[in-house]
Amino acid sequence: MAEVILENVSKVYPGDVKAVDDVSLQIRDREFVVLVGPSGCGKSTTLRMIAGLEDITAGTIRIGERVVNGVAPKDRDIAMVFQNYALYPHMTVYKNMAFGLLLRRQFGAWDNPVGFLVAHGHWKKARAERREIDRRVRDAAEILGIRELLERRPKALSGGQRQRVAVGRAIVRYPKAFLFDEPLSNLDAKLRIGMRAELKALHRRVQTTTVYVTHDQEEAMTLGDRVVVMKDGVIHQCATPYEVYERPVNRFVAGFVGTPPMNFLTGRLLRENDRLLFDEGDQRLAVSAQHHERLARFVGQPVVMGVRPEMLRPAVDAPPHTTLNVQVSVVEPLGDRTDVYCATPKHAHLICRVEARARVAEGAPAVMQVDLDRVHYFEAGENGPNVTLGHGAD
């Protein structure tokens, strides 16, 4: 086990295409870090550079105390689990899991009758190596619940079982770090949720430094000790799942993390006597007193209000300037909650997540109260900084 450290790492492909742009990241020993972002954001390229499958254009990568820039993948002491499992179809589960260890045996050449007759000492060491490999394979199979599958071949396994075998092949290596490249994307939704829980429990048990890549932000939030949100080859935020959700540093992170996604209302800040109002173009909302100090210098300027779906609920005796009049288009009952799709005259797409028993009718007007203490304000632009965190431009 070891730290994985990236210092100013970049990857530029021919044609001056920057896949990863000056990324610095410290993954602590035993930590589970998830790289997440849209397709083409550079997360898989970053993982492949750690693995040594991609050469870096600039920067330094360390695994433990060793700089591994020029070290071959097989010598980096890492284990990687791929999206397509990469199992040998002609081998049993046991042999698939043991194969990497068998290749690395120091005395494997003496593990035969000739070794017993010619070099008995080496033969004994070779047998000890094989016993250790057998122990590791069976221990890993026990952890993953696949011990009864050891004599089967991959074609006789389900998708989830194949994924466990791929993970088991990595576990037996006792590597310094695990690298996972979207390992659950080929599984159906129900099995993916179950495997997610198993991977988290497995990490707690084996306590190996883990770097995990996914495009699924829900997967990232449930698995990671920290979540690294990437876009255009750049890290936009690296923090705990809670902080990424509750304190997104910019509009991109806020919109990417969360299901359903955050609602964005474009408008301007106005001053009325001793209070601030957000004018969304047709209606006005009062700015919470806790945001006044940071927002005061944006009066008269365009800003974007970010409202998560759960921050909108049917209004009951709400104070003035805390509600939005909306037109409901679609109501989606989800059992314990209901998603309501609606619009204001100036904003055509809003989603509210309300209690299942809330009475909201399709095709009818409604009044939604906004939790103004929890909303975020962003500067204009796709990556506008979160002004409520004090990240706005001076």
Cβ atoms of 235 and 249 within 8 Å: the answer is no
Residue 209 included in any domain: yes
Residue 191 banded pLDDT, cuts 50, 70, 90: confident
The Cα–Cα gap between 59 and 25 comes to 11
CATH number, residue 290: 2.40.50.140
Give which of 354, 334, 269 is closest to 342, Cα–Cα: 354
Does residue 215 belong to any structural domain of this protein?
yes
Q: 121-175 pLDDT, tens per residue?
A: 666 777 788 889 999 999 999 888 899 999 999 999 988 889 889 989 988 988 9
Q: What is the pLDDT of residue 368?
A: 96
Any domain includes 226: yes
Statement to judge: residues 268 and 208 lie in one domain: no
Indicate whether 310 and 333 sit together in one domain: yes
Does one domain contain both 171 and 105? yes
- CATH code, domain carrying 198: 3.40.50.300
Using the 3D structure, point to which of 225, 246, 267 is the last residue of a domain: 246
Q: For residues 47 and 191, state if they share a domain.
A: yes
DSSP 8-state symbol, 299: B
Question: Is residue 321 assigned to a domain?
Answer: yes
User: Which residue among 246, 281, 315 closes a domain?
Assistant: 246
Domain total of the chain: 2
Question: Are 352 and 365 members of one domain?
Answer: yes
Sheet arrangement for strand 4-13 = 17-27, 4-13, 58-63, 66-67
pLDDT at 90 over 70: yes
d(CA 208, CA 228): 18
Single residue among 218, 246, 274 that ends a domain in this structure: 246
Question: What is the distance of C-alpha 207 from the center of its chain?
Answer: 19
Closest CA to 133 of 114, 152, 105, 109: 105
CB 239 within 8 A of CB 226: yes
Upper half-sphere CA count for residue 209 (Cβ side, 13 Å):
17
Longest distance between any two alpha carbons in the chain, whole Å: 98
Residue 376 lies in a domain: yes
pLDDT computed for residue 116 by the predictor: 54
306 within 8 A of 254, measured Cβ to Cβ: yes
Looking at the structure, tell me whether residues 229 and 294 fall in a common domain: no
Looking at the fold, whether 15 and 142 belong to one and the same domain comes out as yes
Q: In angstroms, rounded to a whole number, what is the distance separating the alpha carbons of residues 304 and 290?
A: 17
The confidence score (pLDDT) of residue 173 equals 86
Asked if residue 38 has a cis previous peptide bond (ω within 30° of 0), the answer is no
Residue numbers of the domain that contains 178: 4-246
The amino acid sitting at 367 is V
Residue reference for tokens 């009864």: 148
Tell me, yes or no, whether 207 lies in a domain: yes
Distance of alpha carbon 273 from alpha carbon 63, whole angstroms: 58
Assigned domain for 394 exists: no
What's the burial of 218, exposed, middle or buried (CB within 10 Å: 0-12/13-18/19+)? middle
Q: What pLDDT, in 10s, does the model give residues 341-391?
A: 999 999 999 999 999 988 899 999 999 999 999 999 999 999 999 999 865
pLDDT at 394: 38
- Is residue 297 located within the same domain as residue 164? no
- Across-strand partners of 17? 13
Assess whether 233 and 255 both reside in one domain.
no
The percent of residues above 70 in pLDDT, for the chain, comes to 94
Q: Which secondary-structure segment (H or E) carries 120?
A: helix 120-144
Residues 40 and 138 placed together within one structural domain of the fold: yes
What's the whole-model pTM score? 0.88
Same domain for 35 and 105? yes
The reply to whether 261 and 199 lie within a common domain is no
Give phi and psi for 73, each to the nearest 5. -50, -40
